[in-house]
Amino acid sequence: MSTATSPSPVTAAVLGSGAWGTTFAAVLADAGCEVRLWGRNADVAADINATRHNSPYLPGIELPARLTATTDAAAALAGAQLVVVAIPSQSARATLAPLREHLAEGAVAVSLMKGVELSTDRRMSEVVAEVWGLPLDKVAVVSGPNLAREIAEHQPTATVVSATDPETARFVAAACSSSYFRPYTNSDVVGVELCGAVKNVIALAVGIAQGRGFGYNTTATVITRGLVEITRLGLALGADAETFSGLAGMGDLVATCTSPLSRNHTLGKHIGQGMSLDEAVAATGGTAEGVKSCRSVLELAQKVGVDMPITAGVVAVLHEGMPVDDMARGLLARPQKSEGVTSGR
């Protein structure tokens, strides 16, 4: 009589041992993958392997046994069927290029990065594919209302796994599906990535407004009009309109704009309270992707003729010396128009 055998677990490498990389590595491990987490900090890797904790980035969270950490990128990538990238978006190209030779044949790459590359205006899946010589259908993106700390605590959430090839999306979704983490799939990579990049910029704007002492009406206004900006840019670049009302759109936007766990929201609040950008970055800690990505998002919008006044205001405050109160006055003084998404183009 034959005995049924269960399929071998997926071998996954996660590049980036910060809060989100470590959290997603834990999600994969809880879903049954064998996971190797790579980062440059030897103390963090030793801490994870010896104590099952990443104390600097996820204090108090116990990590699963299927997760090991290393500072050796070649060892992390050896034979990995799934390679997840969770590093700051503006350093991705330089970090990933030397690792190409270690990538296993047939590997699927996953971008957790939220941004648009400065100087090229490329989305992060495009950067990964280009640097590693992968076909775009072998690159997926994961985005949604996914605040790392809450997921690390096993609070239930959902996400979107997007890839141009449905089989790639299903493979990644199966690898990260667990009792507390529910992935949905779609094929709108453009829309999902733009949502992930621009929501950080809108979260900065919300934080700035709250730092100035404005209340819920203002917050709701900025979130709602921010979604219009995201949708307007996405549609101009060929995205699916449905994406923007879903988990990667409104879902992620609400989470990032309202939670104190959001670094972009927190940094914006510091700016609104009167800190300089350098002071706000230091006070926030970690990487607030919207600080750099706001410029590349605005550049991309200008290329395709899309008006993004909130994004432009954030760029002006953070990088061009505009006083915060002038940003608010400028937004309110804009010409009256109908509310529709297409009316602002």
Q: Which tokens belong to 249?
A: 């759109």
User: Binding site for NADPH: which residues?
Assistant: 20, 40, 57, 114, 148, 263, 289
Pairing verdict, β 67-70 and 11-15? unpaired
User: Binding site for sn-glycerol 3-phosphate: which residues?
Assistant: 114, 144, 199, 252, 262-264
Q: Which tokens belong to 108?
A: 């699927």
What are the φ and ψ backbone dihedral angles of 112, each rounded to 5 degrees?
-100, 0
- Assess whether 292 carries a catalytic annotation: no
Give the number of C-alpha atoms closer than 13 A to the C-alpha of residue 319, restricted to the C-beta side. Answer: 15
CA distance 199 to 214: 19
Cα 247 to its chain centre, rounded Å, is: 13
Beta-strand ranges (E) seen in 163-303 are: 181-186
The dihedral sign for the CA sequence 20, 148, 144, 307: negative
| Three-state secondary structure call for residue 111 | strand
CA distance 140 to 162: 6
Active site residues: 199
